[in-house]
Chain A
């Protein structure tokens, strides 16, 4: 005979206690998140789709290339004509808000971890736990805390997508050439100024790569959030599974892929602008620099 250890029961009891004790906090979070996600999705849906598609294509051109702009326009139009536009905008809103919250938490935690070895050692197993726990498990406490809808979706998504943000931020800051940081100290700079003036700017490509990962994980999780009743492409996929509707599943799934490709390409270019010399932004910057050099050359 073995004695069963009721780990699950303990956690469940703990969550119940948390739920009743911090009810006010959960209410507040619910209100804020719902306001943000619904506000954003309402705004995105309110804009006529040709305008929004044009705007997104423009962002693609600015940050990466005209090829991405064309690809974005065509694939987004496909979403429109598969009649998934509204669902896609809902999912996009949930993803962006969840990613935003995750980044707002992850970057400061990452900075702290980079500066303090004990803290870093402490949070490492926590991050491992968060990342390896099957994602759908997060939905259970999320529904317990926040009921059905967007908010548990965002909650579970934030939990799941947070770790790479923390890891990449810590890695980026620790990876800054120690001699350059030492130079800051040697000239008498304060730790805060070194962080803002040297470490963060130099770690930025790595941090942005982390943010790219956060967004991608958030998008994948936003689909799972459909199970918690969050409207959007996720709900379509869940519905397609329960009714074995291949057509609906493919259309919703394809829309997710299109969103994912767009978000990935744009955020990747954000972290590594030097690799995309043909983006409109670097062309503008180059022209500005050439003009500045001309300006200095004339009086000389």
Chain B
């Protein structure tokens, strides 16, 4: 079973389309067709109210194979109606929806059932387990409908119960399980059906926050392992940001914005989305890679202490990163040490090399950067898998990223870390040693003089 799914993941590498929705509209009420026609001609939702309630208006998007596509909106925004249009549980008034090339709108019930059986499973907000069946038989439900023989479907369902951590509960009834455990059964049922697409309708909304986070992590883990295509409905923007590869924000039946979590956070399409985004915990959405700046205080190992010192003076910083060939980060040097080296006539900055105090990968959430940032005055270094220095996150950038300011802070002068050694002393030292002779003692008098 697992091998089969790995193959599917391999297929998903391309930009294949799993679900394609074009101008889909859904109107509840007495004269839905008429209302849909008026909406098409530009009527507003309120104008067609006498004809019916427009739940989804002119929705168009593609869900790519292997992505988590989140539809986010408050209650009444039409998101639950939209997900039910995808598998034909709710009729679509106007427009087209196709799933792997099979048209959903206007398809005969028998054919629709076949598509649901083979292509899309669903997870429900209130779990929707069958209370009169054991956990095992619940997990096997999709397979039962597919006509898999009893022994085989129980074996496969058991495998999935083990995968979601409920191996010992298979003989229990759903009512004996907590909410989080019941939804694990719901997830096992959906994954056991072994369809490429999963529809999840507010799947974690009924759970406690801690359990919810656990389930979100489980889902991401399973998705990465199996490459399923997931359409996830939620009203919680933090959840949307955590799970979504792409997010569609809905309001009053219309899709307001469609983009990556970062797009939506940093470039909201309108006031509504912006207002929504205000409450997001940015520290758990933005990553170091999203906010980092190009590193400037960097010297190669081949550079001498004078070059390092000059750079620190010019950038008004007390330390800089040292990289070897190929920009691999090897450590940091401090201005005090460089000053000493210059005075002593040393030429190899590696002698004064210190380990980099804080290194992160670009995928890490900035929530994890705060502590590192407090521990060291240096900007946090961002390195890739090859240990190449690809960016830095200074404290001020970290702060700016939590506000609605643009996260690239090149216009904001970076004033920290403040130089430990006054600029004049450095200049004097550099001047005094231009000819390559260290002048011990001289610098101190110069320093005293300059301060005075």
Q: Contacts A186-B87, A189-B113; is A180 near B142 (CB within 8 Å)?
A: no
Say if the beta carbon of B128 comes within 8 Å of chain A: yes
A296 touches B171 (CB 8 A): yes
Say if the beta carbon of A122 comes within 8 Å of chain B: no
Q: How far is the CB of B121 from chain A (nearest CB, A)?
A: 7
B116 touches A177 (CB 8 A): no
Q: How far is the CB of B450 from chain A (nearest CB, A)?
A: 78
A1–B128 CA distance with the chains assembled, in angstroms: 66
Segment with Cβ contacts to A, from B129-137, B148-156, B176-184: B129-137
By a beta-carbon cutoff of 8 Å, the part of chain A in contact with chain B is 177, 179-180, 182-183, 185-190, 193, 197-198, 201-202, 292-293, 296
Chain B 103-121: CB-based contact to A (< 8 A → 1; otherwise 0): 0000000000111111011
Say if the beta carbon of B122 comes within 8 Å of chain A: yes
By a beta-carbon cutoff of 8 Å, the part of chain B in contact with chain A is 87, 89, 113-118, 120-122, 124-126, 128-132, 141-142, 145-146, 171, 189, 193, 199
Nearest first, the 4 closest Cβ-Cβ pairs linking A and B are A188-B117, A188-B116, A186-B122, A183-B128
B114 touches A177 (CB 8 A): no
Q: How far is the CB of A57 from chain B (nearest CB, A)?
A: 30
Residues on the A chain within 8 Å of B131, using CB: 180, 202
Q: Identify 17 new A-B residue pairs, CB closer than 8 A, beyond the known A183-B124, A186-B116.
A: A177-B126, A179-B124, A179-B125, A179-B126, A182-B89, A183-B122, A183-B128, A186-B87, A186-B121, A187-B116, A187-B142, A187-B193, A188-B117, A188-B145, A202-B131, A202-B132, A292-B171
A186–B146 CA distance with the chains assembled, in angstroms: 12
Kindly report which residue of chain A lies nearest to residue B186, judged by CB atoms: A183
A293–B176 CA distance with the chains assembled, in angstroms: 15
Total number of residue pairs linking A and B with CB closer than 8 Å? 59
Kindly report which residue of chain B lies nearest to residue A191, judged by CB atoms: B109
Q: How far is the CB of A65 from chain B (nearest CB, A)?
A: 24
A187–B336 CA distance with the chains assembled, in angstroms: 69
Give me 19 A-to-B residue pairs in the complex whose CB atoms sit less than 8 angstroms apart, sorted by A's number: A177-B126, A179-B124, A179-B128, A180-B129, A180-B131, A182-B124, A183-B124, A183-B128, A185-B89, A186-B87, A186-B199, A187-B116, A187-B117, A187-B142, A188-B113, A189-B113, A189-B145, A202-B132, A293-B171
Residues on the B chain within 8 Å of A293, using CB: 171
A185–B87 CA distance with the chains assembled, in angstroms: 10
Residues on the A chain within 8 Å of B117, using CB: 187-188
Residues on the B chain within 8 Å of A187, using CB: 116-117, 121-122, 141-142, 145, 189, 193
Kindly report which residue of chain B lies nearest to residue A188, judged by CB atoms: B117
Q: How far is the CB of B75 from chain A (nearest CB, A)?
A: 16
Residues on the B chain within 8 Å of A179, using CB: 124-126, 128
A185 touches B128 (CB 8 A): no
A188–B124 CA distance with the chains assembled, in angstroms: 15
Residues on the B chain within 8 Å of A177, using CB: 126, 128
